[in-house]
Structure 1
Amino acid sequence: MRTDGRVRRAVPEDAAAAAAALARAAEDEAVVKWITPDPAVRRRRAEEAGEYFAAWLTAMMSTGEVHLVEAGGAVAGLALWQYSDAGAGPRVEPAAEAPGDDADDVLRRVYGDDLPRLLLVNELVGERHPAGVSYWYLAQIVVVPELRGRGLGGALLRHQLERVDEQGTAAYLEASSPRNRVLYERHGFRALGGPVVLPDGGPLLQPMWRPRADRGE
C-alpha cells in the first residue's frame, strides 16, 4: 500500500473513517490495554463503539484539531490536538468526555465495568498538565498496526510542530511507551518530571514538554 505521509486536517465528513482507524489502532495501545485487559472485550468494544468514536472525534474537531495521515486513500493514522490557553486546560479531556447530554450513560455503555479505570487515567494525567502557560496538547496519536514503522507517526507530529514553531507556542504530551518517548525526543520533547504511575502494574506515562521555539525576535 502506498504511504505518502501527507497529512491534512480532518473535517466532520471524515469522522466515520477516522473513528474506524482510531478504534483499530488504539486496541493494542498500552493505556487501552490497562483500562480493558481482556483482548476479546477490547476487540468487541472497538467494533461496537464506532458511532461513539465518530461523535467524539467530531466534537474534538470543534474544540481542537484532528489531523489525518492517509495511505492508499484510507485513513492510516490520526493525531488529536487541543490548545490550552495559559493553563486553563484542554477544552475536551482525552477519551474521557462523551458528546451529547447523556455523557455518563454513553461512557458506561462503551466502557462498562472498566469506566473507573478510564476516569482514573484522566484524573492522574490531568493533575500533571502545566499551569500558567499556553501550549498545544497532543491528546492522542495512533497509526493502524499494519502501517507502523513507516514514518507516519513522525509525519503527523511534524505537521503540527511546524505550525507550533511558527506560532511561537510550546507543546505537551504523555509518552505511553519507551518507543514513543524516543520518537518524541527526536522531535524536541523532553521529560517533564517523573512519570504518571498507573496502579496494578499499569504503564508509566511520561509527561513531556517541548518549549516554544526561539524565533530570534
Structure 2
Amino acid sequence: MTSSGKSHDSFISVSRNPDIEAATATLSSAFSTDPVTCWAIPPDTQERGRILDTFFAMTTQRLLTQGGIVAHTPGYQGVITWLPATCSLPSEDESAAFLDLLQDSVGPCGPRVRILMEELDRRHPQDLPPHFYVVCAAITPAMQKSGLVKRAEAGIRERLRAEGTGGYTEASSPSSMLLWQYMGMKRIGDEIRLPDGGPSLYPLYMDASDI
C-alpha cells in the first residue's frame, strides 16, 4: 500500500512501498563517510559498498515491516526514514532474530553493527510522549548544497505538525547535531558513546508544542 503527500516545497513523497534499491543507494552514499558508519563498517573493509548496501537495505526493510515510512524526493536524491508513534514494536525474539541475520549478512563488520543497533535500542528514551523516530535523513553528496537540506527540514516539520506528535532522532556527528538543533530539536540525555574509542551519537527531541 502506498500513500503520497507533498510538502509545500514538493520535497516529500511518502511511501510504505518505496524503491528500496534507490533509497539504499542514497543512504549508502550519504552515510559512507559518517563517523558512526565508519566505526561500524570501516573504510578499508573489503567489499564495503556491498556491505553498506546490505546494511541499509535490511534495516530499511525492517523499518517498513514495523509500519515505518520512507519519504523521498522524486528522484531519491533525498531520503528520510522514520517510525511513527503508531508503529508496531517487535518482540525480543524477533529483534534477536533480525540482529542475528543482520550480523551474518555484513560479514566481518557484524559484531560492531550489532553493538550499534543494540545501543540505539537500549538508549532510546522510554519517558518521551508518543513521537516520530527519525531513523535516517540523507541527501546525496552531490546535492547537499542544492537547498534540499532546507526542504527536507520543512518536510519533516510539516509531517510532525500534521500528526500532532513530537520527533526524536540521534545525530551521528556534531555537524548533523547542529543541523537538527537549527531545525528546533533540543539535546536530551547523555551522548551515546560507542566502545573501542568509537564516536558518539547525540539524542535530540522536539516536543509537539514546539513545532
**Structure 1 partner of 2:80:** 79
**Structure 1 partner of 2:197:** 201
Structure 2: segments with no counterpart, 5+ residues: 1-8
1:104 CA drift (Å): 5.3
| 1:99-135 CA-partner distances (Å, limit 9, x unpaired) | xxx7456424431122121121122222222224211
Structure 1: segments with no counterpart, 5+ residues: none
**Structure 2 partner of 1:157:** 153
Call closer, same or farther: CA 1:146–1:61 in 2, change over 3 Å.
same
Does the aligned pair in 2 maintain the 1:15–1:55 contact within 8 Å? no
Which residue identity is paired with 2:152?
L
Cα distance in 2, alignment partners of residues 5 and 191 from structure 1: 29
Cα distance in 1, alignment partners of residues 156 and 15 from structure 2: 13
Call closer, same or farther: CA 1:55–1:36 in 2, change over 3 Å.
closer
Call closer, same or farther: CA 1:26–1:113 in 2, change over 3 Å.
same
Cα distance in 2, alignment partners of residues 190 and 178 from structure 1: 13
Pick the aligned partner of 1:20 from 25, 29, 45. 25
Call closer, same or farther: CA 1:110–1:138 in 2, change over 3 Å.
same
Correspondence list, 1:1-217, <5 A: 6-12=11-17, 14-41=19-46, 42-46=48-52, 49=54, 53-54=56-57, 56-62=59-65, 63-70=67-74, 74-84=75-85, 91=89, 103=98, 106-132=101-127, 133-213=129-209
Over the residues paired in the alignment, what is the CA RMSD in angstroms? 2.9
Which residue identity is paired with 2:22?
A
Cα distance in 2, alignment partners of residues 131 and 23 from structure 1: 29
In the superposition, the TM-score normalised over structure 1's length comes to 0.76
Does the aligned pair in 2 maintain the 1:169–1:211 contact within 8 Å? yes
Cα distance in 2, alignment partners of residues 106 and 29 from structure 1: 24
Call closer, same or farther: CA 1:97–1:140 in 2, change over 3 Å.
farther
Aligned length: 197
Call closer, same or farther: CA 1:120–1:58 in 2, change over 3 Å.
closer
Does the aligned pair in 1 maintain the 2:103–2:113 contact within 8 Å? no
